[in-house]
Structure 1
Amino acid sequence: MAVVSLPAPQNGSSPTTPVHRVGEQAFDIVADIGDVALFSALTLAWLVRRRTRWSVLIPNFYAIGVMSVPVVAITGTFIGMVLAVQAHSQFAMMGLATRLGSVINISLVKELGPVLAATMLAGRVGSAMSAELGTMRVTEQIDALTALGTNPIHYLVVPRFLACFLLIPLLTLMADFMGVIGGAVVSTQLMMVDSFAYWQHSREYVGGLDLFAGVFKSFFFGAAIALISCHRGFHSKAGAEGVGKAATEAFVYSFIAILFLDFTIGIAWNAVYKAIWPQSAGLL
């Protein structure tokens, strides 16, 4: 039986077979996940170890929270309007146009509001944080902080983490509110759905737990955005290309994390809900 030999590496370089390349990529992915986990653990350790000054928190709260209100409000409004336009024809064919409010509003408060608010935050804030910290890494400002005796994670990462973690629920509520208003205006004013029936069915099918489910998920989204974006910035490579790549990776990885967390938390939430209220299992 013939033996197939693999090409040997030349000049001390690593093997270039497909199997080796897949192995290297898998190893790099595992190493990156471990590095992010260690970075997150250090951030949480400094969060509880030392109190962060308000003079550092307030500028981050303003840049991350206040400056994100317009884009989140506009996004939420148009999502509600688009849902109303797309769903009305299908519901009207079945004679269920008055139930349009329940579908639009429960979709907004449980899924679309939190996910889109987090996505807008990742695009507007996550990339900016990564680029800012990446520039500080390239220009050795982070090394200068370490030389001066200041922990860079406590000084740079913790305030950004707190701003994202604490303010994204408020941005989620803003997106929910604007989406509900946008959907109601289009449904009742353009599609001529009865206003009383629209809000009556919304009240019957959308409860406080549905709103809490979306806000609860947003805490995890904000934490993931802050940790991933700051980690990419801290490990940015030299040059403008490295900073740009770090900003791009921050948004892409944050978006993947948002979708993954939305899926896993949704499954866990439904399991807990069914365990507490078994009679509602068929309604989820």
Structure 2
Amino acid sequence: MKLPRTTQKFFDEAGAISRFTGRFFHEAFRPRYEIVEFINQCFIIGYRSLPLVGLTGFIMGLVLTMQLRPSLVDYGVESELPAMVGIAIIREIGPVLTALIFAGKIGSSIGAELGSMKVTEQIDAMEVSGTNPYKYLVVTRVLATTLMLPLLVLLGDAISLYGAFMGVNIKTNTSFTLYYTQVFDALAFSDVIPAFVKSFFFGFAVGIIGCFKGFNSSKGTEGVGRSANSAVVVSSLMVFVLDLLAVQVTDLLGLN
């Protein structure tokens, strides 16, 4: 029985990404290590993404608080607003939304950059000159995304909680100390640790998919645009799939 063309293409690409990922683990732990390029990518991927992540986090915390307040007032539990917002941001909304923003900004950037290098034969030139393009271009970027996204999630959560504090004080007068006491009293390690750990997997997925799409780009400038777009779509989808798996694992371990 012959599989439909779309299904066959899906499995072909899944297999290609798996081989690409396997090569990453093969190359990542073998010298020579591109330390300078890795630090440069951490700066580009992490530091330059902070303003967008911070602004989005602040607005998210503010809007979430303003949307939740009327419902809590109706049920007479308005005092639980800081605790509910804190749990929602730390456990789910913060990591996932930050990862989606990261996929849109960094995934497309990596896909377009490596795709442009591929179609202009710069990657082939690196191989001819004796440089390992996979280690220099892929390993450094994937390691940087894996490391930087959890840090961005932590900073984004902190800024988002501050935005929620501003939202709480639109209608009431709650002190900074009281607000954060209510938030952290409602949180446990089982809320924080799974959310932090899964952000490493989000970062790895965004990096590996962006590099895969760029490294396999073709058909000139049209292919570069397609690679950038595909990197965003596939990495965003993988964020949701990994989040679903993370929820199932934490539920099995009794951490929910």
- Tell me the TM-score normalised to structure 2 length: 0.95
CA drift of 1:142 comes to 0.9
Equivalent pair of 2:34/2:136 in contact (CA under 8 Å): no
Secondary structure in 2 aligned to 1:273?
coil
- The yes-or-no answer on 1:108 pairing with 2:67 is no
- Name the CA distance, whole Å, in 2 between partners of 1:203 and 1:228: 35
User: Aligned match of 1:44 in 25, 28, 32?
Assistant: 25
Secondary structure in 1 aligned to 2:33?
coil
User: Aligned match of 1:192 in 160, 172, 192?
Assistant: 172
Equivalent pair of 2:96/2:239 in contact (CA under 8 Å): yes
- Name the CA distance, whole Å, in 2 between partners of 1:214 and 1:251: 22
- Name the CA distance, whole Å, in 2 between partners of 1:51 and 1:86: 52
Any residues of structure 2 matched to 1:58-73 within 5 Å, and which? 58-73=39-54
- Tell me the TM-score normalised to structure 1 length: 0.86
- Name the CA distance, whole Å, in 1 between partners of 2:236 and 2:179: 33
Q: Which runs of 5+ in 2 are unaligned?
A: none
In the TM superposition, what whole-angstrom CA distance separates every residue of 1:94-139 from its partner, at most 9, and x where no partner exists?
1111100111111111111111111111111110111010011101
- What letter corresponds to residue 126 of structure 1 in structure 2? G
The alignment of Structure 1 onto Structure 2 pairs a total of residues equal to: 255
CA drift of 1:208 comes to 2.9
- Name the CA distance, whole Å, in 2 between partners of 1:181 and 1:119: 21
- Bigger drift between 28-37 and 57-66 goes to 57-66
- Name the CA distance, whole Å, in 2 between partners of 1:70 and 1:273: 36
In the TM superposition, what whole-angstrom CA distance separates every residue of 1:8-41 from its partner, at most 9, and x where no partner exists?
xxxxxxxxxxx97x71111110000000000001
Aligned to 2:247: 266
Equivalent pair of 2:34/2:135 in contact (CA under 8 Å): no
Equivalent pair of 1:99/1:197 in contact (CA under 8 Å): no
User: Aligned match of 1:241 in 222, 237, 243?
Assistant: 222
CA drift of 1:51 comes to 4.4
Equivalent pair of 1:98/1:197 in contact (CA under 8 Å): no
- Name the CA distance, whole Å, in 1 between partners of 2:80 and 2:27: 49
Any residues of structure 2 matched to 1:1-150 within 5 Å, and which? 23-150=4-131
Q: 1:51 to 1:181 in 2, by over 3 A?
A: farther
Q: Which runs of 5+ in 1 are unaligned?
A: 1-18, 275-283
Larger relative CO (CA 8 A, sep 6+): 1 or 2?
2
Equivalent pair of 1:98/1:198 in contact (CA under 8 Å): no
